[in-house]
Structure 1
Amino acid sequence: MPPLATAVRARLDKSMPVLREWQGRAGKLVRRVASANPYIVDTAITALVWLALSVQFIVPRPEGLPYGSTTSYFLTCLCALPLVWRRRFPLMVLIATNIPMAINQMIDGVGQPLPYAGLIAAYTVAAVSPLRQRMVMNGLAMVVIPLAVAANSNGAREYLFTFFTYFGAYALGRLQNNRQERALAVEARAEQIELTRKAEADRAVVAERARIARDMHDVLSHAVSIMIVQAEAGPVAVRRDPERAERAFDAIAASGRDAMTQLRRMLGVLKEEEGDAVRVPQPTIGDLDALVAGVSATGPRAELTVTGTPVALDADVQVSLYRIVQEALTNVVKHARASGVAVRLDWRGDVVAVTVVDDGVGPTVGDGRGHGMISFRERVAAHRGRVDFGPGPGGRGFQVNAEFPLAREERVVAG
């Protein structure tokens, strides 16, 4: 690289941080002005225009040129004054700024290098007014500008300059209008996205509360049912079989401890705490053996049979499958008056199915199983599975059948 180019490159590298700093300051100033009270901003603009128009009357003029009269200065000030209301009445302000200018020209008053007030008023109409008012302004411009130039110099140069400045102000106003519309569209979209995100978060909260409510129902219903059965059998067993009574009381204590552990975990999730309750793992299909054994030890005889080749399942599927078995066994203990219940877990390639069948009295009207049936449907529907329930084989007892489809990655045999 040539030495001159290297020097220029080094100088630019040194000046870039300063330029970025000034750019940031300018951006902050623009944002601060844009967020200020519109009347304060417009009053400041009016004052600046008035100062610019007053230069011709304050600065000494070259020899041979007349000084401005008091009437001419008064008319010039009148050109700037309406700008205070430019946003509220843009088209009327445009007309109000041009009338004193025309009168000043008729009396041959001191002119201005640029029609500052008229250009700002034209810019405002283009930026904030509807299409009809903009068309009226452009129609008036096509008539007034040629007449004013013809009354002044009637030269081609002045025609070109006047039309250029007018349409330049109009184009800047339309650009500002488009920028504001884009900004409003972006803000509206961001607001809509935020509302959508909040709605999704609310739906997620409702779904999570429903899930926790189902889990609490299953946990409490199962534990309390076991405790009631054992508590009712305890007094009889104390007199006839003390060892059996002791086992019953142990089962009551174990059910209570298990329920408390799971409730602490659920309440910990609700409170969003990071304690031990949150870290207690959710039940899995590996816990079915203990669940069935607990029922068999304290109530009807229960057996678990597994067929097929087990595969890895998502944690959510395992929790739902476990809770369905738990609720079905709870219903057996509470309502079936059964002597035995069979739980079968069947791996069938594309689905995993679970069946709970008892040999009790079967379904009866008002037997209290309604909430559990709803829970079955909700849990299975969450995983696009299916569930059915009703009388057992030969019309005896009650059975629950639930199937969960396996995702493609779940069909790989668990190592």
Structure 2
Amino acid sequence: MHRLNAWLRGHPMVVDGAWASIVLFLFAVSNDTNAGSYRLTSILTALLIALLMVVRRRWPDVTVTAALLLGLAQVAANVDPSGSSIGYLVFVYTGAAFGRPWISRLALAGGLLSGPLTVHSFHKTSDGGPPGGNSFWGLAFTSALLSTPFVLCWAWGRLTRVRRAYLVELEDRAERLERERDAQAKVAVAAERARIARELHDVVAHNVSVMIVQADGAAYVMDNSPHQAKEALATIASTGRQALVEMRRLLGVLRSADAAEEYVPQPSVEELPELLEQVRTAGLPVEFSTSGEPRELPRGVELTVYRIVQEALTNVRKHGGPNVSARVAVDFGDRDLNVLIEDDGRGSTDEQLARGGADGQGHGLIGMRERIGMVSGSLDAGPRPGGGFRIRAVLPLKTAK
């Protein structure tokens, strides 16, 4: 049934042709006793009405205008209304539903005139004089009664036009919402890719740099101190396993929800001591201090703090030069969280970071700023007075009510 309705909507001339056949049938069974050329005129009028009905939705303006002219010609030629005259109701509906505004008004005017013209046609005297034999109010009532079906058809057509416009608006709105949904999905995918890229950069840069430092140290003491070389290799293995765990945890978000539940939560501020201990094991002295009242933080802030500290210490280890040391301070304020990472290095850290990144490709500070921006925070990075480099991050916190 749905397919049939869809096919009929796509072929309106078939439906209109069926209605035209009904009009011709009504004309055939009507009591038309005229003979000769007068009857031929009635037949021709019925055929024209049926033909106009078939094409009414393809050319509504032309059809309604032609039907109005045909009706006036029928009155002028004294052709009595017959069963085919019901088609004029369809033309009034067509003008209101499918025609231009002026055609709609023309159809309404024709419908209002149909009653008086019909009364005039039926009540003419034999000599062609004005109507007579009835009171004025009786003729007015009859005219209004005959015009009522035309006015109702016109109102039905207007309702159809409004309903069709409403449906078109709904379809357009649905399309816009679908386009917006697709656009939001693309933005979400791009944001997720950027987040994964940042996570991979942090994980790989930190752990690989630790492994490189330990490998260089093991090669240096391999002959003179095999025990230290063995410890360095153990650190390399432990760091590699930790990197694999973090990468699996990160890539787990790309899998199903069931698979993602197998991975541990993202790192937080509470895991900073473990990170600093790993950095110290790699040969970088780091001081760590906290102030204020520690409390539970949003997961986005927790991960941001951890990754910023991790990235900053990786930069110190890469570019701080010999005998460099660092300090990490976390201050829990009432309205914000302050994170300070600074070093006293004399290497290339200042120069490279000041140019936009510590990884040689400008991703260090850019990634930090993106992370800070996601939690509506601010980042200040630059050389320290007297040497070294300083990174200060301020992350706003929601105050308890």
Q: TM-score range by the shorter chain?
A: 0.7 to 0.9
What whole-Å deviation, never above 9, does each CA across 1:12-35 have from its counterpart, x for those lacking one? xxxxxxxxxxxxx9xx69965763
Contact 2:253 2:260 in 1 (8 A): no
* Matching residue within 46, 55, 69 for 1:76: 46
Counterpart for residue 164 of structure 2: 180
Distance 2:30 2:338 in 1: 95
* Matching residue within 336, 351, 357 for 1:365: 351
Counterpart for residue 33 of structure 2: 66
Distance 1:91 1:83 in 2: 12
What is the Cα deviation at residue 177 of structure 1?
A: 0.5
Counterpart for residue 230 of structure 1: 214
* Matching residue within 192, 206, 225 for 1:241: 225
Moved more, 363-372 or 228-237: 363-372
Distance 1:45 1:142 in 2: 24
Distance 1:168 1:123 in 2: 9
2:367 maps to a residue whose letter is S
Matches within 5 A, 1:92-131: 92-97=62-67, 111-112=81-82, 115-131=85-101
Report the CA distance shift for 1:44/1:299 in structure 2 as closer, same or farther (over 3 A): farther
Could you tell me the TM-score, scaled by structure 1's length? Answer: 0.82
Distance 2:261 2:299 in 1: 18
Distance 2:184 2:95 in 1: 43
Report the CA distance shift for 1:56/1:33 in structure 2 as closer, same or farther (over 3 A): farther
Distance 2:243 2:9 in 1: 59
1:383 aligns with 2:369: no
Counterpart for residue 11 of structure 2: 37
What is the Cα deviation at residue 283 of structure 1?
A: 0.7
Report the CA distance shift for 1:42/1:128 in structure 2 as closer, same or farther (over 3 A): same
Counterpart for residue 47 of structure 1: 21
2:172 maps to a residue whose letter is A
Could you tell me the TM-score, scaled by structure 2's length? Answer: 0.84
What whole-Å deviation, never above 9, does each CA across 1:306-327 have from its counterpart, x for those lacking one? 2211011111110011000000
Report the CA distance shift for 1:99/1:355 in structure 2 as closer, same or farther (over 3 A): closer
Contact 1:356 1:399 in 2 (8 A): yes
What is the Cα deviation at residue 112 of structure 1?
A: 2.7
What whole-Å deviation, never above 9, does each CA across 1:247-276 have from its counterpart, x for those lacking one? 211111122111112212222323446326
Counterpart for residue 345 of structure 1: 330
What's the Cα RMSD here? 2.8
Distance 1:199 1:384 in 2: 23
Counterpart for residue 310 of structure 1: 294
Counterpart for residue 126 of structure 2: none
1:334 maps to a residue whose letter is K
What is the Cα deviation at residue 144 of structure 1?
A: 6.3
Q: 1:404 is paired with a residue of what secondary structure?
A: strand
Contact 1:79 1:98 in 2 (8 A): no
Q: 1:275 is paired with a residue of what secondary structure?
A: helix
Counterpart for residue 86 of structure 1: 56
Distance 1:32 1:404 in 2: 58
What whole-Å deviation, never above 9, does each CA across 1:289-317 have from its counterpart, x for those lacking one? 11000000112112321221101111111
Distance 2:240 2:102 in 1: 79
Report the CA distance shift for 1:397/1:33 in structure 2 as closer, same or farther (over 3 A): same
Identity of aligned residues (%): 33
Structure 2: runs of 5 or more not aligned:
124-130, 132-138
Matches within 5 A, 1:244-255: 244-255=228-239
Counterpart for residue 136 of structure 2: none
Contact 1:387 1:403 in 2 (8 A): yes
2:164 maps to a residue whose letter is Q
Distance 1:265 1:277 in 2: 9
Contact 2:23 2:83 in 1 (8 A): no
Counterpart for residue 134 of structure 2: none
Report the CA distance shift for 1:117/1:401 in structure 2 as closer, same or farther (over 3 A): same
Structure 1: runs of 5 or more not aligned:
1-24, 58-64
